[in-house]
Amino acid sequence: MIPLSSGSSSQTATLAEEVEMCKLFAARVSLGNSPRGPSEPGRECLGSLPCRLIQRLCSRVDARTIKLVSMTDAPTQIFTAKKVHTMDPNEPFATAVAVQGDRIVGVGHRDDFLHFPQAEVDERFGEKVLLPGFVEAHSHVMSGALWEFPYVGFYERTDPKGQVWSGCQDVDSVLQRLTQCDQEMVDPDQTLVAWGLDPIFLQGERLVAKHLDQVSTKRPIFVFHASGHLATVNSEMMRQSGIDQHTPTPGVAKDDSGTPNGELQEPAAMSLARDGLATIGIAMMSSEAKWNYALEARNCGVTTAADLGTTRLAMEGQLEAWRQTTDHPEYPIRVVVAFGHFDSDGTPANIRDMAAKAAHLREHEESEKLRFGIVKLVLDGSIQGFTARISHPHYLDPPPGHPGNGLWLIPPEQMPDIVSAYHQAGLTVHCHCNGDEAAQVFIDAVDAALQTHPREDHRHTVQHCQLTTEQQYKKMSQLGMNANIFANHIFYWGDQHATITVGRQRAEKMDGCATAEREGVKFSIHSDAPITPMGQLHTVWCAVNRLTASGDILGPDERIGIHKALQACTIDAAHQLLMDNEIGSLENGKLADFTVLDNDPYEVEPEELKNIQVWGTVVGGVPFQAGSE
Amino acid sequence: MEVTVIGGYLGAGKTTLVNHLLSQATEVIAVLINDFGEINIDDKLVDSVDENTITLTNGCICCSLADGYSKALDDVAKRNPRPTRLVIEASGVADPAAVAAYGHAPGMALNAVAVVADGVNLIEQLADPLVGQTVRSQLAAADLILLNKQDLVSETETLRAELEKFNGDALMVECIHSQIDLDLLFGSEVNKAPKAFGVTGEYESRSHTSMQPIPRDALVELIELLPTQVQRAKGIVRVAEDPHIPMVFQLVGRRWELRALADRKNAPEGNQLVVIGPKGTVPPDWDRTLNAED
C-alpha cells in the first residue's frame, strides 16, 4: 500500500515538511489524486494537498532525481520491448521499463538503466509491445466458476487453461459435446451441468428434455442458459426432482399434453431441479473459481479485475478465501472485490452497518492483490431481457404479456438514503443501470448526497450505461461521476437492440462512448464476464468499430479512437477502481503491471484489434504467460 | 406446508403485518423476510435470536432471506417441529407472483398472495412514472388486498374503484396497522375441526362437515349462491368424481380452486368447509346445496 495513507503527521506539518515528504513519495505516487479515504479533514490533507504539490514539484524537479530517491539496492530487472505505450502523457513511448521488486523505477530506454543496482536485462519481450496492464472494471468471479462445467454456447470461447471451445451452432453440436462429457464422467450418478446455451441463436427446434435424453437417460443433466434466467434438464433430472405433469410451479414449461418439456424458467422453477443451481452456487465459492477467473483474465492481458458483486463479503469465510487465494505468489491478477449491497435488508441502520463494514475492509483488510472500497448496487434488469428501466417510449417489441417497462431491484425512493450512507462513509458507489431511467435515479441520488455532504473526488460510477443520454453524461460530468460502458453489447446483441428491444435510433446511441468522451466523463469499457467473454482487446475493438454480429456498423458517430479506448481499459478503469495512483499507466513508483502483446494496437487496422495475440502479462514484476497452467 | 406470500410496495405495511401475524399465531408459522432488522416483536414473545433467525416462545420462527429462497426454504423444511405454515414477505419491489412460484415447491402448497396497499399513498403511487407499474403489477397479482391505513384515509371508495380497474377478483379487506383477521388471511387451519359458527371482530364464520363425497357441480353451485360479500372459504373435501383424493378447496375474492392435498396421511375424513364474511352476511343455510346431496 501507499505509505501516504498511514502518515498522520502531515496534519501539523509545515509547508516545507510537506514539500520534503512529497519529494520522498513522489516516485511512489501517481500524478493523479489519491482517492482512497473519506473526505474527513485529515484525509483531505493527505489526499489532495500533497498531490497538488507533487504535481507542481514534478514540473520542476529533474526526473532522474525522483527516480534516485526511490532507488534501493535491490536488483533491477530491465524489460526491453519493441515498443512501450505508457499511457503517461508526459512520456507516452519507451522501449524499456526498469523494475525493482514489484515497482517501476524507470521508463525509457535500456541504456538509461544499465547503471542501476544489479541491473539485468530481460529481453524476452524484445519483439513484443508493452502496455499498462489491462483493467477489467466489471466482471464476476462466477465467470471462473462456470469453467468447472462444459460450455455449450453459440460463440467460440477460450477457457482459463487456454483451450478453445468451439461454438455449438446447432442442437446437434450441443448434444455431441454433452455426450462426450457424459462419457468422460467417472461417477455414473453425478449430475452433468453445462452452461452457455442461448436458444436465440439456434436454428430449428428448441432444445428440450427429449433431446437431452439422447445424451443420457440415467444421469441427470442440467444445462444453464447464457441469460442466467433459464435451464433445460433431461427426463432423469425431472424424475429425480419430482417434476411431472402435476408440478404447479410457474416457469415449468409444459407441452400441449401438460407434460413438462424440461425447460425451467426463472429461479423458482430452476431450483426444483435437484442439484443444478446449487452445484453452480457451490462452485462459485470455491478456490478453483477464483483461480479460473484469474487465469482467464491473464490470458486476455488483464492484470487487475473487479469482481463487481458476486462475492458475498458479508458471509463468513469469503474474505479469508479471497485472501488465501490472492496471497499465493502465482496468483496472476489483482482483484477489487466489490461489497454487494444485496446483503442489506434496506433499513437505514442496516445500511449504515454495511457501510461501516465496507469501509473497514478498505482500511484494514487490503493486501497487494486484494482491494476494496467499491460498493455495488443493482438498480434495474437487462435490456435484452426486457427488464431494464428505460424511458418513454420504452421497448420496441417486447414479448407478449410484458408489463411495458422493466423492473426495479431497489425501490427508487430508497436510493438517496442508500447512496448517501455509502457516500458519507467515504466509499465509491458503482450502480448497475442498464436503462436511462435507472441511470437518472442513481444520478439524482448522487446529486442529493453531494448537496448534503459535499465530497471531492468520490468517483461514483454508473455501471453499464447502456442507454445513458447526453444530458445525463453532462450531469455526471458536473457531479464528478464516472461511467463504465458495456461496449461488448454492440457486437453480441446490437442486431437485436436495433430490431427488437429499443429500435435502431436508440440502439445507435447505445453504449455511447463518444458522447461520454465529449461530455468529459471519465469512462471505462467492460465485458461483464461471464455475460460476455472477458477480453479487453475485443472490448476495445467493439468501442472503436461498433460492428454487430451481423457485420452492421451500429451508430458510427459513437465510435471512439484507439487511444481513448485503450485509456478506458487502463488508466481510466484504474481511476474508477481508485487505483490510478498505483496502476493504469507505466510511471515511476507504480506497480510493474504490464500487458504483453504480439502486435501494436496503434498500428493494426481497427478491424484487426481483436485478433492481436496476447503473450500474457507481468504483475508486480512477475511474468505470467497466457495459456500456461 | 401452506405458503402465503405477502407483497406490497415500500411502506405499505408488510412488516407490520408480519409482526401482527407472528404475535397472533395459533399454529407454528415460519416467516421468511427481507427486512430482518425491521421485525419488532414484543420481547416477552421472543425466545432466542441469532444472525438469521428469531425464534418465538409460541414456536414460530422468523428467518432472513439474505441467503436466498432455496437456502431459507431448506432450513425451514429441516426444522423440528416442522412449521405448518410458511409466510414469505416479498421485497418492496418484488413481483409477488414470482415469489409465489416458490409456494409450489415439493411438499408445499400456495394458500394465497396477499398484497398490502398503502391507503394514504396508493393513488399517488399508481400515477408515479417511476413506480406506478411496479405497484400496479403487485396489486394485480393479489388474491387478497389489504387496504391499509384506513385510519388516515377518507376516500376508500375511490381506492376500491381504482383497484377494481386492474384486479376485480381479489378479496379486499380494509384494515388499520395491517390488523387482519388471520382466518381471512389463511382461510382457516386445515386439518382442524372447524367451529359451527364463530365471530371475530368484524367477521363471522360458518362451517360445514359431512362424510359423503360432493359432486363437483354442487361445489360450483355453492360458490355461485354465496352472497357477494362472502369472499373467503376454505376446507378439505372429497369430490365425487375422484373420492379417494382429499382436495383442498379455497375461495379468495372471486377466485377459487380445488387442488390435491399434499399431506394426505393426516387428512381428516369426509368434508370440512369454513366460509368467512362480514358480520351478518353468511346465511345459516349457505351449504344447502351440499346437504341436498348428503
Statement: residue A481 has pLDDT above 90? yes
CB A268 to CB B106 under 8 A?
Answer: no
**Arithmetic mean of pLDDT, A346-360:** 87
Is B36 at the interface with chain A, CB within 8 A? yes
Domains A149-281 and A286-585 share a fold: no
Give A38's pLDDT tier (boundaries 50, 70, 90).
very low
CB pairs under 8 A between A and B: 81
Distances (CA, A) of B211 to A171, B269, B294: 55, 7, 8
Alpha carbon distance B225, B288 (integer Å) = 10
CATH architecture of A286-585: Alpha-Beta Barrel (3.20)
% helix, strand, coil for chain A, step of 5? 40, 20, 40
Statement: residue A112 has pLDDT above 60? yes
How far A365 CA sits from the closest chain B CA (Å)?
23
Alpha carbon distance B38, B59 (integer Å) = 20
Q: Which of A249, A349, A410 is closest, CB to CB, to B37?
A: A349
Instruction: Express as a percent the part of chain A with pLDDT over 90.
Output: 74
Contacts of A617 by beta carbon, 8 Å cutoff, 6+ apart: A133, A298, A301, A302, A303, A332, A333, A593, A594, A595, A596, A623, A624, A626
Statement: residue A319 has pLDDT above 90? yes
Is B60 at the interface with chain A, CB within 8 A? no
**Arithmetic mean of pLDDT, A356-373:** 94
Statement: residue B262 has pLDDT above 90? no
Statement: residue A225 has pLDDT above 50? yes
Q: Which of A247, A389, A403 is closest, CB to CB, to B137?
A: A403
Which chain A residues are Cβ-neighbours of B134 within 8 angstroms? 407-408
Task: Please give the domain boundaries of chain B with CATH numbers for all domains.
Answer: 2-185 (3.40.50.300), 189-293 (3.30.1220.10)
Statement: residue A42 has pLDDT above 60? no
The pLDDT of residue A205:
84
Q: Which of A83-92, B68-77, B155-164 has the lowest mean pLDDT?
A: B68-77
The pLDDT of residue B137:
93
CB B131 to CB A242 under 8 A?
Answer: no
The pLDDT of residue B79:
86
Statement: residue A349 has pLDDT above 90? no
Which chain A residues are Cβ-neighbours of B86 within 8 angstroms? none
What is the side-by-side strand order in the sheet with A339-340?
A339-340, A374-378, A428-433, A461-464, A482-485, A523-525
Amino acid at B6: I
Alpha carbon distance A574, A282 (integer Å) = 31
Alpha carbon distance A87, A130 (integer Å) = 11
Q: What is the dihedral of CA A149, A150, A152, A156, to 10 degrees?
A: 110
Statement: residue B201 has pLDDT above 80? no
Residue A389 burial by Cβ neighbours in a 10 Å radius (0-12, 13-18, 19+): buried
Which chain B residues are Cβ-neighbours of A250 within 8 angstroms? 97-98, 100-101, 104
Statement: residue A145 has pLDDT above 80? yes
Statement: residue B279 has pLDDT above 80? yes
DSSP string, A474-507: HHHHHHT-EEEE-THHHHHHHHHIIIIIS-HHHH
CB B10 to CB A411 under 8 A?
Answer: yes
Q: Which of A246, A267, A410 is closest, CB to CB, to B69?
A: A267
Give A451's pLDDT tier (boundaries 50, 70, 90).
very high
From chain B residues 101-140, the ones with a CB under 8 A of any chain A CB are 101-102, 104-106, 110, 130-131, 133-134, 137
The pLDDT of residue B235:
87
Alpha carbon distance A136, B136 (integer Å) = 39
Q: Which of B105, B130, B137 is closest, CB to CB, to A272?
A: B105
A465 contacts A484 by C-beta, under 8 angstroms = yes
> Which residue from B minimizes the CA distance to A276?
B70
Give A23's pLDDT tier (boundaries 50, 70, 90).
very low
Helix (H, G, I), strand (E, B) or coil at B157: helix
Statement: residue A343 has pLDDT above 80? no
Helix (H, G, I), strand (E, B) or coil at A222: strand
Winning range, highest mean pLDDT, from A255-264, A565-574, B142-151: A565-574
A483 contacts A470 by C-beta, under 8 angstroms = no
Amino acid at A413: E
The pLDDT of residue A177:
97
Q: Which of A271, A272, A414 is closest, CB to CB, to B10?
A: A414
Instruction: Write out pLDDT tens, residues B202-242.
Output: 788 888 999 999 998 888 888 888 998 888 888 889 999 88
Provide the mean pLDDT of chain A.
88
> Which residue from A minimizes the CA distance to B137?
A403
Statement: residue B129 has pLDDT above 60? yes
Which chain B residues are Cβ-neighbours of A357 within 8 angstroms? none
CATH architecture of A149-281: Roll (3.10)
The pLDDT of residue B189:
53
Q: Which residues face A223 on adjacent strands?
A: A194, A232
Which chain A residues are Cβ-neighbours of B106 within 8 angstroms? 242, 272
Alpha carbon distance B139, B8 (integer Å) = 7
Q: Count of CB atoms within 10 A of residue A499's CB? A: 13
Q: Which residue has the higher pLDDT, B225 or A620?
A: A620
Give B194's pLDDT tier (boundaries 50, 70, 90).
low
Helix (H, G, I), strand (E, B) or coil at B115: strand
CB A407 to CB B110 under 8 A?
Answer: no
Q: Which of A195-204, A234-243, A255-264 has the lowest mean pLDDT?
A: A195-204
Q: Which of A22-36, A151-165, A336-350, B175-189 has the lowest mean pLDDT?
A: A22-36
Strand blocks (E) in chain B: 2-7, 29-33, 46-49, 53-56, 61-64, 85-89, 109-118, 144-148, 171-174, 197-200, 203-210, 232-238, 246-252, 255-260, 271-278
Helix (H, G, I), strand (E, B) or coil at A467: coil
Statement: residue A200 has pLDDT above 90? no
Contacts of A267 by beta carbon, 8 Å cutoff, 6+ apart: A277, B69, B70
- What values do phi and psi take at A156, rounded to 5? -60, 145
Name the region of A425 (left: φ>0; alpha: ψ -120 to 50; beta: rest): alpha
Which chain A residues are Cβ-neighbours of B35 within 8 angstroms? 345-347
Q: Where are the domains of chain A?
A: 1-70, 149-281, 286-585
Residue A74 burial by Cβ neighbours in a 10 Å radius (0-12, 13-18, 19+): middle
**Arithmetic mean of pLDDT, B57-69:** 85
Alpha carbon distance A151, A314 (integer Å) = 31
**Arithmetic mean of pLDDT, A169-189:** 95
Q: What is the dihedral of CA B262, B264, B268, B269, to 10 degrees?
A: 130
Which chain B residues are Cβ-neighbours of A404 within 8 angstroms? 133
Find, among B267, B291, B265, B279, the residue nearest to B209 by Cα: B291
Per DSSP, B91 falls in state: P
Statement: residue A69 has pLDDT above 90? no
> Which residue from A minimizes the CA distance to B125?
A413
Q: Which of A98-102, A426-430, A484-488, B289-293 has the lowest mean pLDDT?
A: B289-293
How far B248 CA sits from the closest chain A CA (Å)?
14
Instruction: Write out pLDDT tens, residues A510-567.
Output: 999 999 999 999 999 999 999 999 999 999 999 999 999 999 999 999 999 999 999 9
CB B131 to CB A413 under 8 A?
Answer: yes
**Arithmetic mean of pLDDT, A134-151:** 96
> Which residue from A minimizes the CA distance to B104?
A249
Instruction: Write out pLDDT tens, residues B250-259.
Output: 888 888 888 8
**Arithmetic mean of pLDDT, A302-318:** 89
Distances (CA, A) of A417 to A368, A426, A450, B128: 33, 14, 12, 19
